[in-house]
Amino acid sequence: MDREVQFIGQSSAFLDAVERASRAAPMRRPVLVIGERGTGKELIAERLHRLSTRWQEPLVTMNCAALPETLIEAELFGHEAGAFTGATRARAGRFEEANGGTLFLDELGTLSMGAQERLLRAVEYGEVARIGANKPIMVDVRIVAATNENLPRMADEGRFRPDLLDRLSFEVITLPPLRVREGDIAVLADYYARRMAAELGWPSWPGFAAHVARAMEDYAWPGNVRELRNVVERAVYRWDDPARAIGHIQFDPFESPWRPASPVAAPVTGAAPGAAAGGEAPAPAPALRPDLDAVTDLRGAVDAHERAILEHHLGRNRYNQRQTAKALGLTYDQLRHCLKKHGLLERGDVA
């Protein structure tokens, strides 16, 4: 695999999933890959193909959510000329394109019931029929499907065919989210950061400041590895001092003091200023706060919070103390006193 699709990680949860994919790869049976967005489902599908006896044959990918329901069946199974309006010539479907190889169906849970029924026949008997054709075509295709949906629950609710689920679930590989992959956040962050630093022509990689490394470990990463890569590469390219450890990281790229507010309903005539239609002002979003019940050492908790604020704003202001003091509403001397109190003046990245 090329440098864009490498498996990076050392946690047991991650390595177990990769090892299961490696064991399943030589089999001719279908495999389901389950996982949150950004966990690497397509990489697992490629591994299943590359380590199989079909590795020299086509690996065809289809995102089932990318097409309207009316076109999915034509895309999967192909069509004959004149089969429907706009079908001016015959076209092979993805099953025919993947003949002898692997067909990767991403976002499987979005398939319509009609497409599921035809897919079941293709998996069960190895035959597909183009739309508008009289005779089926025999194909030899290994199916790998992926989704972030709960397919057993969808089957119970009548939104996914149980018989198709049974046929596709010979092996189910569930990928762990990044937040439970112990030790992998630091490994992945270092890998993507070094690549970005090399791309920018930095002479060396200075690493991450301790508070930035802690912030990455504490973050939930809802977008998993894909999100981590964006966050890390953005932090590196925005940092303008290659000789100093990365001191600021922004998880939300939309974060801004000028971020447009969500629109609210126009007030009704005669309503008090700021009141929404219906006579009540929209309730403000509740502010997030730490778990106060967990605090058993008030002085220590206050000191830790104050230190975290100082580290964050120092990094955000590129360790310029006068700008940091201004951002925090302190005088330069007051900031210096706080830095000394927390031992931050003794660090090499604070001048």
- The per-residue pLDDT for range 96-118, each reduced to its tens digit, is 999 999 999 999 999 989 889 98
User: Looking at the predicted structure, is the pLDDT value of residue 272 above 80?
Assistant: no
Mean pLDDT lowest among 130-144, 184-198, 302-316: 302-316
- Beta-ladder partners of 147: 34
Decide if 34 contacts 172 (C-beta within 8 A): yes
Q: Given this model, what pLDDT does residue 294 score? A: 79
Q: Most confidently modeled of 44-53, 289-298, 319-328?
A: 44-53
Residue range 296-338, pLDDT digits in tens: 888 888 878 888 888 788 777 767 778 788 888 888 777 787 8
The span from the CA of 80 to the CA of 97, in Å, is: 15
1 contact partners, CB below 8 Å, separation of at least 6: 7, 46, 47, 50
Residue range 229-258, pLDDT digits in tens: 999 999 999 998 999 999 999 999 998 878
User: Looking at the predicted structure, is the pLDDT value of residue 285 above 50?
Assistant: no
Q: Given this model, what pLDDT does residue 89 score? A: 82
136 contact partners, CB below 8 Å, separation of at least 6: 127, 128, 129
Rg (CA), the chain: 27
Q: How confident is the model at residue 282 (pLDDT cuts 50, 70, 90)?
A: very low
User: Looking at the predicted structure, is the pLDDT value of residue 264 above 70?
Assistant: no
Residue type, 181: R
Q: Given this model, what pLDDT does residue 296 score? A: 83
Decide if 47 contacts 21 (C-beta within 8 A): yes
Q: Given this model, what pLDDT does residue 58 score? A: 95
Give the end-to-end CA distance of the chain in Å, rounded to a whole number: 44
Q: Given this model, what pLDDT does residue 156 score? A: 96
Q: Given this model, what pLDDT does residue 1 score? A: 38
Mean pLDDT lowest among 62-71, 127-136, 258-267: 258-267
Handedness of CA 58, 63, 67, 68 (dihedral sign): positive
User: Looking at the predicted structure, is the pLDDT value of residue 270 above 50?
Assistant: no
Decide if 84 contacts 132 (C-beta within 8 A): yes
Decide if 51 contacts 18 (C-beta within 8 A): no
User: Looking at the predicted structure, is the pLDDT value of residue 212 above 60?
Assistant: yes
The span from the CA of 16 to the CA of 175, in Å, is: 9
Average pLDDT over residues 161-187: 96
Q: How confident is the model at residue 275 (pLDDT cuts 50, 70, 90)?
A: very low
Q: What is the pTM of this model?
A: 0.73
The span from the CA of 103 to the CA of 117, in Å, is: 17
The span from the CA of 223 to the CA of 199, in Å, is: 24
Top-confidence residue, 67 or 144: 144
Average pLDDT over residues 19-27: 96
Average pLDDT over residues 193-211: 95
Give the DSSP per-residue string, 40-59.
Answer: -HHHHHHHHHHTSTTTTS-E
What is the pLDDT of the chain when averaged over all its residues? 85
User: Looking at the predicted structure, is the pLDDT value of residue 94 above 80?
Assistant: yes
Average pLDDT over residues 284-307: 70
